[in-house]
């Protein structure tokens, strides 16, 4: 896959996008919005008009707006798995145990 992620300095969701790339074992190029010149930002905005927030990604020429869209793609392709959610009974047992200790 050819992946470029667009991030912004201090962005928590951008850090999570990079973690997702590592979990999926994907190499990527990172472009940090704050490090671009004004002209580069304008050009990027013209190329990808939906790049109004970060993170964003271009994967094999397709623009993805946000972490959730990329995570869904990776789930569909089997590159990552979703963590199992705990059921009610499991949570009830933990609560009982914690109250007794």
SS in 3 state form for 16-47?
HHHHHHHHCCCCCEEEEHHHCCHHHHHHHHHH
24-76 tens-digit pLDDT:
999 999 999 999 999 999 999 999 998 889 999 999 999 999 999 999 999 99
Domain ranges of the chain: 3-100
pLDDT beyond 80 at 101:
no
pTM over 0.85: no
The CATH fold assigned to 3-100 is Glutaredoxin (3.40.30)
- Please answer whether residues 20 and 80 qualify as being in contact, where contact means their C-beta atoms are separated by less than 8 angstroms: yes
How far apart CA 87 and CA 82 sit, in angstroms, is 15
Q: Provide the token pair at 88.
A: 């009610």
Spatial distance between the Cα atoms of 31 and 36, rounded to a whole number of angstroms: 8
**Lookup: tokens for 78:** 């089997």
């Amino acid at each position: 896959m050819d992946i470029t992620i667009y991030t912004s300095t201090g962005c928590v969701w951008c850090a999570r996008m990079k973690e997702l790339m590592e979990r999926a074992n994907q190499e990527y190029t990172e472009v940090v919005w704050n490090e671009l010149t004004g002209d580069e930002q304008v050009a990027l905005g013209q190329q990808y008009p939906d790049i109004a927030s970060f993170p964003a990604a271009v994967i094999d020429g397709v623009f993805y707006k946000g972490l959730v869209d990329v995570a869904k793609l990776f789930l569909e392709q089997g590159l990552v798995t979703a963590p199992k959610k705990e059921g009610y009974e499991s949570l009830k047992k933990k609560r009982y145990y914690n109250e007794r200790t």
